[in-house]
Every structure is written in structure tokens, then in C-alpha cells.
Structure 1
Amino acid sequence: MERLEWQEMENYERFLHRTSESGFQKTDLAAHNTPDWNGVNTVSEQFPDDWSKVCILTPVSPQAYLIYSSSVAAGAQSGIEECKYQFAWDRWNCPERALQLSSHGGLRSANRETAFVHAISSAGVMYTLTRNCSLGDFDNCGCDDSRNGQLGGQGWLWGGCSDNVGFGEAISKQFVDALETGQDARAAMNLHNNEAGRKAVKGTMKRTCKCHGVSGSCTTQTCWLQLPEFREVGAHLKEKYHAALKVDLLQGAGNSAAGRGAIADTFRSISTRELVHLEDSPDYCLENKTLGLLGTEGRECLRRGRALGRWERRSCRRLCGDCGLAVEERRAETVSSCNCKFHWCCAVRCEQCRRRVTKYFCSRAERPRGGAAHKPVRKP
């Protein structure tokens, strides 16, 4: 066995031992909750830096732990990258501090941004596990052919090799939900948003079909489900982020069995396809060292470009103007490879081209003479 495998095995055994010493029991919250929770009660750790610290009460086998943990870590990383992409031109741009999913250490809020981080991370893990299953990376997983031969709709049957999202969902749930502990509303919120991320993957699956018939006719079709590009999952969850529901609970709920039951009942009444949050978001225009927020001063924004969407084109207004900042224009010189040619044999030689570009940044507006600086009204 390779050294890495021995190290992972030691981590696995050490954290299983920690679980047994803790003597965890199913909580009242889990008992009252939806079947999606599966009564999971776990040790909360930082996510996703060290997956060896995931502690699972109904553990997968050591072999399975070794097989899946690398895919889980890769999926978590893809979720992080997608978060940064989706919020690149927002006031909150998925900073590193936001990526610590341990929510009971006093460092995390329970706002809609937290909801998105949980959902996209959970989706990334499920997506990667499902994709790796389809690629044949796991011996115990293959196509989902459970519906093959069944009538799917008018003129088509289930067939082919559907991506096995059931497998990805089951394994990702064990790993991701294992990061959450607690019996309060925040634990319920995090687990709910984890599930919303998994539902987003399932809800964006694409149906692909192949025609069958004489001389190329399409008398019948055989269809199967495939994963979309992960960017589509991210865009779907970004829409859910904008429509996230705020849950209002009584102060102190969760400190008793009755309170935990009330929390579970509240979250059960909300669709697991929706993101939920408990708190309002802070003002991301402003620097807040306590919350680890840098504000928008100094941020780059976009103004011109044929490929820019409406959201990107309005980023200077959103990041600068609406936050009471001016847009500063800076000229810069970039160097890139150009005029590349293939030379026999066998090299590609390029010239180094210099180009002057204009970039835009948010800067503190200068105070006008005879009065205070104008501060535009901020829009959400």
C-alpha cells in the first residue's frame, strides 16, 4: 500500500475513534426532520481543506473512504471556483473567509451568501462523484439503467447510459452533511441548503436521445440523462440565491426538545429546492474587519467589451457608484504571445506583443470644494 493510502487509513481510523469516544446519539432535531436528513449528527470541521477530518456516524468502509475522499475534495474545489465565477462582479465576491463552512465557531453568518456557499459546495461534490462514476473511476458504480426499457414519453423509451446521480447523491450526502453538527436553526439551515445544492444537480440534468427507425427515420427514440456543464448548475443556484427565503424563528429556538422540533417542522415546510437564510446580509460596500469584509474600494470593474453581459457591464455602477465611490481609469501595458508560427520540426515560436489596455477601479471620491462628497443611494 502506498504511503498516501497508509496516511489516509490512519486518518480514517483516528476520526472513527473520535466518533466512538464522543458517544453521539441521534438528536431531537434529526428525529423531527425530513427523511433527507437521515438523522445525520456529526462533527463540524472546516470545509474543504482537510477531508480526512470528516467524521461519519454510519461510516463507509476504509476502502470506500480512500476511493471517494479525493473526488469529494475535487468536487468541493469546483464548487469554490464556481462561487468565485458567479460572484466575480458582485459586491460580495466569495472571499476566502466565506469558504469555511464550520458555522458554530462564531465566525460565520447565516445570510444568503452562506446559503449559496453550502449549496454550491454540496453540488460540486455530488457532481464530481457522479461524473467520476460515469468515467469508470469507481469499481462499484456504473450507469443508471434502472429505467431502461420503460416508456418515458410519447415516442421514446428510457435506455442508454444515464449518469448515476443517485450514487453521487448518496455518497456526497454522507461526506458533506457530516461537516455539520448542532441542533439549532443554523444547523437546519446548512443542511437544508446542502440538499438544495444536490437538488440543483438533479434538476439541471439534460435528456439526450438517439433515433431508431428504417432508413434514418426517427420512429422511436432511446433517451438517457446526462450531467449538464457545472456552470449551468452554478447559474441555477445563483438564481436561487436571489430568491432565497428568510426564515424567522423564535429567539432561543433549539434549546429544548420542543424547540428543536419546531425548527425541524419549519424547515420541513420549505421546499428543499429553495435556498434559505436566517439573517440579513451586511453592507458589502463597507470594510468590516470584524466580519472579515474588505469593502469594494480598490475593486476592479468592467465597462467595455463585446462579450460582456449586462451584469458585467453594470459592475462599475454596482461596485463603485452605488457604494459612494468614484471610478478611476488606469492605463496599463500587457505582454502576451502573438503571431505564433509552427517551425519544422518541432517547435512553435511566438512574438511578444505589448498592448495598452484600460482598466477601471473603485476609488474614494474626492471631496468637492465647498461641500461634502456626494454619496449615491445604495441599491441592493
Structure 2
Amino acid sequence: MDRLSYFIIIFVISAFVCPTSSLNVIHQVNRTPLEVKFKNSIVSTRFNPLAEIVRNSEQLALRNCKEIFRWDQWNCPTGDFLQKRTSNILDKEGAFVKALSAAAVIYSSITNCSGNFMECDCKFNVPVEDESQIVKCVDHIISLENLLVGNDNSVNIDTQGYAQLHNSRAGRIAVQRALKHQCKCSGYTSACSIQTCWMLISSFPEITSDIRKMYDHGVKVAIDNSGRVKRNIKREALVYLDNSPNYCVENVIHGWPGMLGGNARDDELQNLLCRETLCRKLCRACGLKVKRERVVKEKPCKCKFYWCCDVQCEKCSELVNEFYCH
């Protein structure tokens, strides 16, 4: 396992000091859900870690959304992504955005608490390995979740509120499933007298893939006259209320260009055959054909570095392949 692709979350060690708990037996603490809690004074601080977490989570969610949908009719454009985060219209893609955003908040809270913020209740006093990030706040993540993505224990919520909270919870579940428990024995005997345990969390692209599977099995819900959901919904499934628009067709109101005449995702994919195959699949899904054109583009080349500190490049013409739906 490549440790650089994971963030190490140490739960309890012998040097652990926490004013909210006196537990120092590792296996007991590991039965408690991963939680994070910030001091009440956090809101009044000049630098607000919660705002930083939200900022980081938005960028993380958008970047991974674009990557996971890069070969779909809806490829998570920035404007539409931001609109779906706050819109009252909840289609299938909006449900994905809500779940991914919730997961990104929790993931960012874990990674940003790895020594970046000092407003944590619990502190560690241990050596830090170069490849690991020691999390300094691990007491109550539920309070942070409720603060940032809402409390799903609310009683009087409408259909929209139910769907939003359900999808937020699905995002949290994806993060919980990404946690992996590991322990290491040490001491002078074979009885494992001293045991150090920690949690590994998978990379966020893996979490995004898990939420994409939830999206693929998304369920449209309807509410009966009593205000109850008509069918039982699994906690891991995404729910949506509105049908998705036809992303193959141009929509001026929402700023969606459609697929006709559009560049079929011609980007950094170097394998021409692979790119053409994916473009053909993308265009055919909209009842269109793929068209390949060879065009001349100018790119910087023959760059030279001049001390100090300037880089000068020439412009070279290059013949490249571009694909369009028609």
C-alpha cells in the first residue's frame, strides 16, 4: 500500500492528551466513530478554519466532479456545478453534487486538521513521520457535520429538505466506507502488550467513484398526501425529485451549449484511438456522429531560461486532431 496516497489518522497513543476524554485504551476508543469538534471560540477568530474547510472542499469536489464526468453529456461545468449546489431544483446530477460536496467537507475537515489549525480540543504530542499527517482533532465529527452540511434528525422538513439531507448523509457514508482500520503491536513480549491503532482514509478520487456508483443507481422519489416517501430508500442511494434536462440540446437559460457542433472532450488524452472511441460513444448517446478535423494550433516551444528570472519561448505550429459531434 502506498502510504503517500492516504492520510493517517491517529486515534489514541500513550501521549494522547484530551480534555474531553480520559480514555487511553486503544481498542476502546476505536469503537467510537471518527469525530471532530472545534472550540466554540472558533467563530470569533480572525482566521476561521471552517471557512477554509468549506473553500477547500468546494475546489476538491469540483475538480473530482469534472474528472468523473469528463466523458458524459453532463461533464460538470463549473457554473452548473455551483448552481446545483444551491438550486431548489434537485435532478440526478444535483443529487450527486450535494452528496459529493458533503463528502468533500468531511474529507477536508480531516485533512485540514492535520496540523493546519490549532483550534482543536484534542492535541497529540508525538513524533511526526514525513509521509504522514497527524490529525490533531478527533473528538466529535458529528457536531462538525451538522454545522456544515445539516442535521438529518430534523422532524419537520419538506420533500426538498428530506432529499437534500438524505444525499448529504450518503456522502458521509462514502467517507466512512473509505476508512480502513490498522493496528501495530509493540513491546517486549508476544502478547501485544502495547498496541497502536490508526485509521487510513482512501484518496478522494476513490470516494468520488463510490458516490458515482450511488448516482448510477439513483432513485427518483415521490411524496404521498401524508407527506411520506412512497418507497423505502437505501441510505447509500442518491435520491432526486426532478428529471434531468436533455444535456444533448442547447439550453441558453442554464448556459448549457449542448453537444451539436461541440468539441467532444478533446483534451490531454494522448491515445488518439482511445480518444476517438470515447468521443464517438459520447456523440452517439445524443444521436450524433463524431467528426475528426485536423487543425493547426500554435504552442510555445524552444523555451530558454535567462538569468534571472525570465523564460522566453518561440511559437511553433502543430497539427492536432480535434473531434466534434455533428
TM bracket, shorter-chain basis: 0.5 to 0.7
Unaligned 5+ residue runs, structure 1?
Answer: 1-57, 146-159, 364-380
Aligned counterpart in structure 1 of residue 64 of structure 2, from 54, 64, 82: 82
TM-superposed CA distance for 1:66, in Å, is 2.8
Q: 3-state SS of the aligned residue for 1:193? A: helix
TM-superposed CA distance for 1:176, in Å, is 2.7
Query: Taking structure 1 as reference, are residues 166 and 64 closer, same or farther at Cα in structure 2, changes over 3 Å only?
Result: farther
1:68 aligns with 2:50: yes
1:173 aligns with 2:185: no
**Is the Cα–Cα contact under 8 Å of residues 303 and 311 in structure 2 kept in the other structure?**
yes
TM-superposed CA distance for 1:229, in Å, is 1.9
Q: CA deviation digits over 1:343-380, x for unaligned, max 9?
A: 888887776654321111113xxxxxxxxxxxxxxxxx
Query: Taking structure 1 as reference, are residues 317 and 244 closer, same or farther at Cα in structure 2, changes over 3 Å only?
Result: same
Q: CA deviation digits over 1:212-236, x for unaligned, max 9?
A: 589xxx9997441133222111111
Aligned counterpart in structure 1 of residue 97 of structure 2, from 117, 125, 129: 117
Which residue in 1 is equivalent to 2:179? 205
TM-superposed CA distance for 1:91, in Å, is 0.4
Aligned counterpart in structure 2 of residue 356 of structure 1, from 302, 319, 322: 319
TM-superposed CA distance for 1:120, in Å, is 0.9
How many residues were matched structurally?
A: 272
TM-superposed CA distance for 1:184, in Å, is 1.9
What is the TM-score normalised by the length of structure 2?
Answer: 0.66
**Is the Cα–Cα contact under 8 Å of residues 207 and 225 in structure 1 kept in the other structure?**
yes
Q: CA deviation digits over 1:100-124, x for unaligned, max 9?
A: 23333xxx2x221111010111111
Higher mean Cα deviation, 78-87 or 110-119?
Answer: 78-87
Q: 3-state SS of the aligned residue for 1:328? A: strand
**Is the Cα–Cα contact under 8 Å of residues 182 and 200 in structure 2 kept in the other structure?**
yes
TM-superposed CA distance for 1:135, in Å, is 2.7
Query: Taking structure 1 as reference, are residues 136 and 66 closer, same or farther at Cα in structure 2, changes over 3 Å only?
Result: closer
- What amino acid is aligned across from residue 143 of structure 2 in structure 1? A
| Pairs within 5 Å for 1:152-231 | 167-168=140-141, 170-177=143-150, 183-207=157-181, 212=186, 222-231=196-205
Percentage of matched positions with identical amino acids: 33
Aligned counterpart in structure 1 of residue 106 of structure 2, from 113, 116, 126: 126
- What amino acid is aligned across from residue 113 of structure 2 in structure 1? C
Unaligned 5+ residue runs, structure 2?
Answer: 1-39, 126-132
- What amino acid is aligned across from residue 119 of structure 2 in structure 1? D
Q: CA deviation digits over 1:161-214, x for unaligned, max 9?
A: 568676555324312338x9x832121111110111122122112445657589
Higher relative contact order (CA 8 A, sep 6+): 2
Query: Taking structure 1 as reference, are residues 314 and 221 closer, same or farther at Cα in structure 2, changes over 3 Å only?
Result: farther
**Is the Cα–Cα contact under 8 Å of residues 92 and 239 in structure 2 kept in the other structure?**
yes
Cα distance in 2, alignment partners of residues 308 and 138 from structure 1: 49
**Is the Cα–Cα contact under 8 Å of residues 221 and 241 in structure 2 kept in the other structure?**
yes
Which residue in 1 is equivalent to 2:86? 102
- What amino acid is aligned across from residue 242 of structure 2 in structure 1? E
TM-superposed CA distance for 1:287, in Å, is 2.1
Query: Taking structure 1 as reference, are residues 341 and 123 closer, same or farther at Cα in structure 2, changes over 3 Å only?
Result: same
Cα distance in 2, alignment partners of residues 210 and 232 from structure 1: 25
**CA RMSD for the aligned pairs?**
4.2
Q: Whose helix fraction is larger, Structure 1's or Structure 2's?
A: 1
